[in-house]
Amino acid sequence: MSFITKFRGCFLRPFLMRTTHSKAMEPKRTPFYKFHLTEGAKLIEFCGYAMPIQYESQNILESHHHVRNHCGIFDVSHMLQVKVFGNDRVNFMESLTTADLVNLPAGSGTLSVYLNESGGILDDVIINVCKEPYLYVVSNAACAEKISKHLKEKQETFRKLGKDVSVELLNDKALLAVQGPEAHEIVRTGISPAEWPTFDDLFFMETAQFTSLFGLYLDSEPIRITRCGYTGEDGYEISLPAEIAVELGHCLMKVKQVKPIGLAARDTLRLEAGMCLYGNDLDETTTPIEASLNWLVGKRRRQFTAQPLFPGAECVLNQLYKKSPITRKRIGLKGEFGPQARPGSKIFAPQSDIQVGHVTSGCLSPTLGQNIAMAYVKPDFISNGQELAVEIRKKLHKFTVCNIPFVPNRYVRRPKSK
């Protein structure tokens, strides 16, 4: 069986199992819906939206390689976009997440996590401290309803304490990711020459507003461009008025190096980059320390004296400083070419019937040509090079613990000042 055939069959089945289905309601449509139809997208219901799993111009494997080598565009408008206003906006978001926003320069952002009172992860989130008087916040579509409710409830609690904060859900905005080594030059061609200095000064996890893109604009509604993404490649996420979304997609498709990319390739790209998928690799019972995301706890937030304390701080900080033991840890696994390790696959100690963990994400890596997976295992089995056995279709297959990411990222970071 060829790699392409095995890849397609092994990947699509578990991916489709993760999608949501509802007979009672038609899936919602993103602002790019007509663009998807024009480009021959195969649409599925995902997180309540009609989303492209792939396009007729390329199979999943070709789509994956195109992003690694050129430039792909992804509709991510189903994600939750929020603005947080008010004099106490930083204090508000720090009371909900592990981020150190006080020390974050204006115009930059950070990955963080919303936590519950037990230190479990409610969702992962990118928080941008904008040069304008608000925070721009993006989190997952799968948790949009939960997080929207959470933010509104906490907003009211804050206001009762006399705090100044206001949460605005950006339901009228589209969001497009442009990813790949050629993304910078392609997006730059759409920037007005007068705004090139601002665009050229954007580095990884930095954000700015622009008046137009490829000549498209809506009066009084700027376009926000953030240099980030979910593929491990250089790239941008573009938040723009829904009214000009389809036109932007068509403008980008006029560039030869650009291809539309669906959810299937997005998942293999993020897994190679070692990025977590909420609901698979993260959930409300898992702390940042168990998830090997210690770095998401800002340095200033690592003290019990730091105010405000984030939810579940006692549990998380005790785990961080090894005052409390953990029973599992997220790791990377590599295996030989063969059956794919799927979410829920049991992991055993070598030459033993003792289960030591389970797989949370897995695929045949198009870049590496071998199986990769993320998993949670007992702390005694997390060392690089540790051999483990993964049960796939009632047979045990050898995997080895390895570093994450599986494929080196290619973010363009701001040079450190001397």
Q: What is the DSSP string of 325-390?
A: --S-EEEEEEE-SSSPP-TT-EEE-TTSS-EEEEEEEEEEETTTTEEEEEEEE-GGG-STT-EEEE
> For residue 10, what pLDDT band results from cuts at 50, 70 and 90?
low
pLDDT (0 to 100) of residue 25: 81
Percent of the chain with pLDDT over 70: 94
Residue 11 — very low, low, confident or very high, per pLDDT cuts 50/70/90? Answer: low
Three-state SS for 114?
strand
Query: What confidence score (pLDDT) does residue 337 get?
Result: 82
pLDDT band for position 24 (cuts 50, 70, 90): low
CA 24 distance to own-chain centroid: 29
4 pLDDT band, cuts 50/70/90, is: low
Half-sphere exposure of 138 (CA within 13 A, CB side): 26
Q: Decide if pLDDT at 13 tops 80.
A: no
Residue 7's pLDDT is 53
- Encoded amino acid at 346, one letter: K
pLDDT in tens, 262-299: 999 999 999 999 999 999 999 999 999 999 999 999 99
Give the C-alpha distances (Å, rounded to integers) separating 238 from 76, 77, 124, 217, 353: 10, 10, 19, 13, 49
> What is 3-77+172-272's CATH topology?
Gyrase A; domain 2 (3.30.1360)
Annotated ligand binding at 237? The verdict is yes
**pLDDT tens for residues 309-349?**
999 999 999 999 999 999 999 999 999 888 999 999 999 99
Q: Which 3-state string (H, E, C) describes 75-111?
A: ECCCCEEEEEECCCHHHHHHCCECCCCCCCCCCEEEE
Domain with CATH 3.30.1360.120 in the chain: 3-77+172-272
pLDDT at 20: 47
DSSP letter string over 208-233?
EEES-BTTB-BTTBPEEEES--SSSS
Of 177, 175, 173, residue with least CA distance to 74: 177
Question: CA of 116: how far to CAs of 21, 95, 297, in Å?
Answer: 28, 11, 14
- Please say whether the structural domain 327-405 has been given the CATH code 2.40.30.110: yes
Q: State pTM to two decimals.
A: 0.95
The percent of residues above 90 in pLDDT, for the chain, comes to 91
**DSSP letter assigned to residue 272:** H
Which residue intervals of the chain bear CATH 2.40.30.110? Answer: 327-405
Tens of pLDDT along 233-245?
Answer: 999 999 999 999 9
Q: Does residue 127 surpass a pLDDT of 70?
A: yes
> Are 321 and 368 spatial neighbours (Cβ–Cβ below 8 Å)?
no
CB-based contacts of 176: which residues, under 8 Å, 6+ apart? Answer: 32, 73, 74, 75, 76, 77, 237, 238, 240, 245, 248, 249
| 264 or 6, higher pLDDT | 264
Check residue 22 and give its pLDDT: 46
Q: Which DSSP string do the residues of 143-161 spell out, in sequence order? A: GHHHHHHHHHHHHHHHHHT
Note the pLDDT tens digit of each residue in 201-234.
999 999 999 999 999 999 989 999 999 999 999 9
Q: Higher-confidence residue: 9 or 170?
A: 170
Average pLDDT over residues 101-113: 99
